[in-house]
Structure 1
Amino acid sequence: MPVSIIVAVIFGYFLMLIGISWLTSRQADAASFYTANRQSPWYLVAFGMIGATLSGVTFISLPGEVGNSQFSYFQLVLGYIPGYLTVIFILLPLYYKLQLITIYTYLEERFGYWAYKMGSFYFILSRTIGAAFRLFLVAGVLQIAVFDALGIPFALTVVVAIGLIWLYTFRGGIKTIVITDTLQTFFILAAVGTSVMAAAQALELSWWEIPGAVRESAYSQTWFWDDTGNHFFKQFFAGMFIAIVMTGLDQDMMQKNLTCRNLAEAQKNMLWFTGALVLVNLLFLGLGALLYLYAEAEGIPMPERTDDLFPILALEHFPMAAAIFFLLGITAAAYSSADSALTSLTTTFCVDFLGIKPGEKENEKAIRLKVHAGFSVALFLIILLFHFINDDSVISGVFTAAGYTYGPLLGLFACGLFTQWKPKDKWIPLVCLASPLMAYSISWLAGAWLGYNFGFEILILNGSLTLAGLGLISLSPSPNPSAPHV
């Protein structure tokens, strides 16, 4: 595809985002930035959350991973269902009852100052690293596909990428994100749909023949019961807890839900989102099987990295329309997670660490802009660090380490919701810092001594260790009358 077309497509895409930002940020105030004045239509939030959940990593990696592990990922996706039901019927009622701006305020009311700060700290740490990692991967693809040919250095590419995010989020905040997420989800799904169509046409498959071709292929095995990392129960329970912590205990995702008009609409949003997300993940897996069948039929050599399969086929072998939608899809997948992350990080730092409440400070907007710009710079520096390291194993290790930070959040909220313990607040940071280190040590020892390699289930171990530690430092098991329960 000519570089001029690629540049025009990306430029047009961002013009749309900036236009949406201008429309949604007119007469915007602090409440618009943090909560969208709690007026977001539930169906827009539900549709937009699909794109925010499907990051650029998923967009690129999931179809290619079908060649390694077939449809085993769908076992994890099925675990999302009970996880999201926990969010819908336990966490959302709590958040709406307390009228929270950031969900970690609950920890202060339940435990105290240090629990509150540790919850916010772990979210900021994990979300900053995670957003930078995802944006780094997609920026690398765009750099190779477009900007190297124009002689533009990687650092400038990242500056422009983050600058564009800042430009369309700094005024409207979450009110803008709800609308842009909707647009970005559309482009992600359009990219998958046009790619399925392109592969099916090349294989001479009609629409109703596609499911049968995928089912009969060597890539469609879904259920795994042997002693591997893909065992059903291992995947299912990991998916359940991933849904709870990375949606229900994540300010980025919950901030969108808290913009709905009331609890009933927020719950309706999550129910529709759950069903849609399961189907969309199945669509991605089906696309992966079709990509492998297409490559085999056309005699296209398999790339060394499965992550490269989708980009290579879309940009070099599919028709122009499918290639254009792929570019829009991968750009949307990257920015749908990065832009909402920047907004939620700004919200969390302003509310949880600076003590800002909407409309209470005259210089609130100036402070918010500085924080927003500060996190933009942080993302830029972390992405450059990843680029400087240029070692997949080290970078993946950093990203995996960030995943450990959700364990303390799981333990804190589980303790608050399901026990009557009153942990000594001043000792909570020690527990929250020690549990990820202990989880990592256990994981290493299990691999070295028992040959068992922890996967996503490390989250469950980490949260359990945090909960046990909170039990050890509890004053007594007696009820806490002031503790806000559902």
Structure 2
Amino acid sequence: MSPGLFLLFIIGYFVLLLTVSYLTGRKADMQAYFTGNRNSVWYVVAIGLIADSLSGVTYISVPGKVGTASFAYLQVALGYVAGYIAIAVILLPLFYNRNLTSIYTYLRQRFGPATQKVGALFFMLSRLTGSAARLYVVAGVLQLFVFEHYRVPFVLTVSLMIGLMLLYTYRGGIKTLVWTDALQSALLLAAVCVTIRAICDGLQWSLGEAVEKVAGGPYAQVFFWDWKAANFFPKDFFGGMMIAVTMTGLDQNMMQKNLSCRTLGEAKKNLYSFSLIQLAVHVLLLGMGALLYEYMRAFGIAGPVDAVTGALLTDQVFPSLALHHLGAFAAVAFVTGLTAATFSSADSVLTTLTTSFYIDILGHASEDMDGSKRRLRNTIHTGWGIALLLTILLFKALNRSALIDTVLLLASLTYGPMLGLFAFGIFSKRSIPDKASILVCLASPALCYWLRQQSGSLWGGYRFGNELLLVNGFFTYAGLWFFSLGKKERPFKN
């Protein structure tokens, strides 16, 4: 497919988003920006969360990893379902009953302003670096297949992407994002279905035959029981559960949309529905991954390998086949899905980082309506866009693919303290010195990082997987409990 057609597609894609932004945001006020006027339709939010929960990295990595890990990731996805149910039962009532806009306001009410800022800063660090990593991946793909042809420098490519995101989010905020995310989720699902259809056509299989071949094929194993391995079922399941609780329930980026639903009951229906939808989407992604490897085997296509080690580069399997082997329609579908998955998670970050900084760090109320507060909000929104650009350019300067793994590790380390803080606040009535949370939330990730680096030699080859998040949360909880010794219990109603 020619770079010119790719460029026309990208332009059309953003014209569509800008149109939706104009229609939803032309009468938006401050409450529309922060909470969508608490009038979002629950099933639209549920659909939008699909693309928001899947990054471009996940879209590429989950199908590719089937070649080395089979359907093991489904263990994690099953844990997600349990995690979303826990959010609906425990966290949503907690946040709705307090009419919160930023969920970290709860930490202020429970412990004090220093703890609120600690929780918000951990969120900001994780979301900024994580979103920058995801955008770096998709920007690299677009640069290689489109903008390099026109000799557009990488910095201009990224600047245009972020500029467009600022343009369609700065006015409507959450009110706009609920609808643009739903649109991008629909495009993502369409892209996966088109790719599966293209593979089946190439193999001359019906959809029924494809399901039968995948279910009886070499990649169909779902559950793994080697307790030392990172993909041991209980580790993946409970790790996935805690990932859902922390990266959705304790993450302003995900919860701000949930809190925009009209009632607590509708917000719960949204999460219950989304838990099942995301499971089905992961099954589709894994099934597509198995079909990709069947296609490679049927046509004798050598998978992309590392030039030094000769190891299979699983993250390049899907892009390589979609862009070079499955035809123009599948190539367009791939870019559509990648763009939708990446931009849905990245564009909302600009709004939610702005919300958290405005409320948690500066201490303003979301109800502030005067012109100076609106200008301040817009300045913060633009500032986060610039910060996102600079972080991506830093990744480009370092130019190491392993940096993505480092960023994902950073995410697991930063969400652990939030898990411990909220768990201690909800399940304990003890009080702590407000500033003690700073020390605990710095010490716990540092200890977990050391354990992860040393685990192979300390415990006979045992390797930490997703359960490291649980360990991190436990250390944070224990540290807070230690500082609570000798303190009187505070009367606080959860």
Same fold (TM over 0.5): yes
Once the two structures are superposed, the pairs formed by residues 66-85 of structure 1 within 5 Å of their partners are 66-85=66-85
Once the two structures are superposed, the pairs formed by residues 181-220 of structure 1 within 5 Å of their partners are 181-220=181-220
2:420–2:475 contact (8 Å) kept in structure 1: yes
For 1:129, the aligned partner's letter is T
Question: Distance in 2 between the 1:467 and 1:363 partners?
Answer: 40
Once the two structures are superposed, the pairs formed by residues 333-352 of structure 1 within 5 Å of their partners are 333-352=341-360
What is the aligned counterpart of 2:379 among 367, 370, 384?
A: 370
- The corresponding residue for 2:20 is 20
For 1:284, the aligned partner's letter is L
- The corresponding residue for 2:138 is 138
Question: Distance in 1 between the 2:314 and 2:454 partners?
Answer: 30
Per mean C-alpha deviation after superposition, the further-off stretch among 377-386 and 441-450 is 441-450
Cα deviations across residues 431-455 of structure 1 (Å, max 9, x unaligned)? 1111111111122222233332212
What is the aligned counterpart of 1:310 among 306, 312, 318?
A: 318
Question: Distance in 1 between the 2:237 and 2:466 partners?
Answer: 10
Alpha-carbon RMSD: 1.2
Question: Distance in 2 between the 1:296 and 1:375 partners?
Answer: 45
Question: Distance in 1 between the 2:266 and 2:489 partners?
Answer: 32
- The corresponding residue for 1:167 is 167
Q: Does 1:180 align with 2:188?
A: no
What is the aligned counterpart of 1:421 among 430, 433, 452?
A: 430
Question: Distance in 2 between the 1:339 and 1:291 partners?
Answer: 30
1:109–1:484 contact (8 Å) kept in structure 2: no
Q: Does 1:402 align with 2:411?
A: yes
Once the two structures are superposed, the pairs formed by residues 251-262 of structure 1 within 5 Å of their partners are 251-262=252-263
1:362, distance to aligned residue in structure 2 (A) = 3.6
1:466, distance to aligned residue in structure 2 (A) = 0.3
**3-state SS of paired residue (1:408):** helix
- The corresponding residue for 1:432 is 441
1:477, distance to aligned residue in structure 2 (A) = 7.0
For 1:407, the aligned partner's letter is G
1:421–1:478 contact (8 Å) kept in structure 2: yes
Question: Distance in 2 between the 1:178 and 1:48 partners?
Answer: 6
Question: Distance in 2 between the 1:364 and 1:3 partners?
Answer: 43
Q: Does 1:356 align with 2:355?
A: no
- The corresponding residue for 1:325 is 333
TM-score normalized with structure 2 length: 0.96
Cα deviations across residues 151-186 of structure 1 (Å, max 9, x unaligned)? 111111110111111010000101110000011001
Question: Distance in 2 between the 1:328 and 1:445 partners?
Answer: 41
For 2:192, the aligned partner's letter is V
Per mean C-alpha deviation after superposition, the further-off stretch among 214-223 and 319-328 is 319-328
Once the two structures are superposed, the pairs formed by residues 273-292 of structure 1 within 5 Å of their partners are 273-292=274-293
Cα separation, partners in 2 of 1:395 and 1:213, compared to 1, 3 Å: closer
- The corresponding residue for 2:299 is 298
Percent sequence identity over aligned pairs:
48
**3-state SS of paired residue (1:150):** coil
Question: Distance in 1 between the 2:484 and 2:367 partners?
Answer: 37
Q: Does 1:464 align with 2:474?
A: yes
- The corresponding residue for 1:445 is 454
- The corresponding residue for 1:110 is 110
* 5+ long unaligned stretches in structure 2: 306-312
1:392, distance to aligned residue in structure 2 (A) = 1.9
**3-state SS of paired residue (1:21):** helix
Question: Distance in 2 between the 1:96 and 1:341 partners?
Answer: 21
Cα deviations across residues 303-348 of structure 1 (Å, max 9, x unaligned)? 1211111112112222322221221111111100000111100110
Question: Distance in 2 between the 1:446 and 1:428 partners?
Answer: 26
For 1:373, the aligned partner's letter is T
Question: Distance in 1 between the 2:33 and 2:25 partners?
Answer: 9
2:130–2:407 contact (8 Å) kept in structure 1: no
**3-state SS of paired residue (2:161):** helix
1:420–1:477 contact (8 Å) kept in structure 2: no
1:395, distance to aligned residue in structure 2 (A) = 4.2
- The corresponding residue for 2:237 is 236
Q: Does 1:386 align with 2:386?
A: no
Cα deviations across residues 240-274 of structure 1 (Å, max 9, x unaligned)? 10010000000000000001001000000000000
1:389–1:395 contact (8 Å) kept in structure 2: no
Per mean C-alpha deviation after superposition, the further-off stretch among 318-327 and 48-57 is 318-327
Question: Distance in 2 between the 1:397 and 1:267 partners?
Answer: 34
Cα deviations across residues 28-63 of structure 1 (Å, max 9, x unaligned)? 100000000000000000000011001101111111
* 5+ long unaligned stretches in structure 1: none
1:6–1:146 contact (8 Å) kept in structure 2: yes
**3-state SS of paired residue (1:363):** helix
1:145, distance to aligned residue in structure 2 (A) = 1.3
1:107–1:416 contact (8 Å) kept in structure 2: yes
1:358, distance to aligned residue in structure 2 (A) = 3.0
- The corresponding residue for 2:308 is none
Question: Distance in 1 between the 2:380 and 2:104 partners?
Answer: 19
1:478, distance to aligned residue in structure 2 (A) = 5.1
Per mean C-alpha deviation after superposition, the further-off stretch among 335-344 and 312-321 is 312-321
Aligned residues: 484
TM-score normalized with structure 1 length: 0.98
